[in-house]
Amino acid sequence: MEMIQGNLITVETLTADFRRLGVREGMTLLVHSSFKSLGKWVAGGPVAVILALEQVLGAEGTLVMPTHSSDLTDPAGWSNPPVPEEWWQTIREQMPPYDADLTPLNGMGVIPDTFRKQAGVRRSGHPVDSFAAWGKHRDLIVDAHALDFGLGDHSPLARIYDLHGSVLLLGVGNLNNTSLHLAEYRAEYAEKKEITAGAPMLVNGVRQWVKFRDYDWNSDDFGALGDDYARETGGIVYGPVAAATAGLIPQRNIVDYAVKWLERNR
């Protein structure tokens, strides 16, 4: 019989790892994650990760995860795969509208997809760039998520900034650090490009294709940005969570640094 390799990962072991990394009761914590990075033997799967985080944060804490649905975008911009131009208008007319309870996530991973279904979690109303939140500041974070510039100053990212929240990179790097888009929104640089985006939404109970202002967001240099931030400031605490390497970052610090970095490097 083949022997199981590796350690058993439980809510208890995850709780200890998160505390050792620096996650504390009462924090506002935005989590980006790769479940596979934790190892093969997580008792309870993604549910165990969520319960461990909530246990550490406690009643005064707030847990936030990205629940983006980039499938609900204008088909004219699709490239993986592209669709024939003669389909575009039909897709705009027929695609089901955004529904916070029903619309699936795209590329976010199994942990946030499980989290959004938990009782007591709310998902914001943006059709493309939504976030889900649980805990003390849940409503402050998800309410009034503006349609225009959904990762900007009227987004959950900016409310986390106001709350002096932190970012947990769980088995992923700064390439996945969505808070850097808030810096992108605030920075001024020559190639910054505003676009007109669109998505299907319910407006007063009626499905409509709604257009809104946005930026042509670009995360290609976020890895280099994060490396520079870590080297110059020492502002990322790294440590193991199960088999994953995790990083804990004060969100306001890296966003402020990133504004200046982007203005210098773009």
Could you state, in order of their start, the residue ranges of all structural domains in the chain?
11-71+107-188+220-265
* pLDDT 10s digits, 157-190: 999 999 999 999 999 999 999 999 999 999 999 9
Among candidates 27, 36, 34, 22, which has minimal Cα distance to 54? 27
* pLDDT 10s digits, 247-258: 999 999 999 999
Whole-prediction pTM value? 0.95
Torsions phi, psi of 252, nearest 5?
A: -60, -40
3-state secondary structure at position 130: coil
Spatial contact of 220 and 213, defined as CB atoms under 8 Å apart: no
Position 80 scores a pLDDT of 81
Task: Quote the CA–CA distance of 14 and 153 in Å, as a whole number.
Answer: 33
* pLDDT 10s digits, 23-59: 999 999 999 999 999 998 999 999 999 999 999 999 9
Task: Quote the CA–CA distance of 158 and 129 in Å, as a whole number.
Answer: 13
Between the alpha carbon of residue 143 and those of residues 126, 130, 161, the distances in Å are 10, 11, 15
Task: Quote the CA–CA distance of 91 and 187 in Å, as a whole number.
Answer: 34
